[in-house]
Structure 1
Amino acid sequence: MTSDADLIRLLHERHGALLWAVAMRTTADPGRAQDAVQETLVRAWRHVDALDESRGDPRPWLLRTLRNVLIDEWRARSVRPEVLVDDVGEPDLAVADHADAAAQAWVVDAALARLSPEHRAVLAECYYRGRSVREAAAVLGVPPGTVKSRTHYALRALRLVLEEMGIGV
């Protein structure tokens, strides 16, 4: 049985780099990113049942938790009064919030990896490359009806995989 310190250390070793990258891309501030990652790991420690490997990869849960931590931090900062100063330095460049997009991309990539090659291919052509059924059929070398049925079954399979991963669709 592992101790709490071992669990946090293991989580940080396995997932810390991804959490740090997402937090830094979102905040562009090392201090805020470090705080967000630490808070995410504390929440993971409090909800160790969500990290049970029999339930699947814990990364989607960790990324969703990081996203919530970053949103909570942003909301807390947005309700504080702004401090005005006379000394105006260089303009503060706003950084777009990419945490949600990064987390979604990782989860979708992990889910797609669990689909059959045929289902992945048809989803890639129709959704990622924006091809019509006829165009996708030409690229894949199958009839348009096959593209339609594969797309239908691929989306059903993707939904099941996402539900297994703990992502509500």
Structure 2
Amino acid sequence: MHLDQQQALRELHGDYAPLLWRFVMRLVHDRAQAEDVVQETLLRAWQHPEVLTREPNALRAWLFTVARNLVIDDWRSARHRHEFGTVQLPETPDYDQTERVLDAWLVGDALESLSPDHREVIRQAYFGGKDTASIAEALEIPEGTVKSRLHYGLRALRLALEERGVSG
């Protein structure tokens, strides 16, 4: 490209890019798409240097016609018919909760097989988040008894889960 062609293209961009962008924005209401259309319009002018020799009104008409046709072509395209923008992101897929539900059911069933004393200390410790002192106070038993029930209760729970096919 010759120096005078480069200068002509710079002037073309400076003179018409803002006008074309505003025109295309009124048609598409999308900044990125408007910028793409303006760039493509100016690229086509560069590919047809004879356009640059036209009088200003004819040049302007040619540029606006090319921009309008690019927008119309995009509207008619398969991409436009089958794709659409949205402000909201699609919902994120939830992971399959089946295994979690089955695990909860297995643990609940195994807990039911324990003695009420063992089941209660495990429930308060693991599901209630209490420490041994709080459990001892709530059940009115010594802390040592709570520790013993937790130990034997968890061992019985592990065996009950293994009987149900859960390996750990």
Q: What TM-score do you get using the length of structure 2 for normalisation?
A: 0.47
Question: Which structure has more RCO (C-alpha within 8 Å, separation ≥ 6)?
Answer: 1
Q: What TM-score do you get using the length of structure 1 for normalisation?
A: 0.47
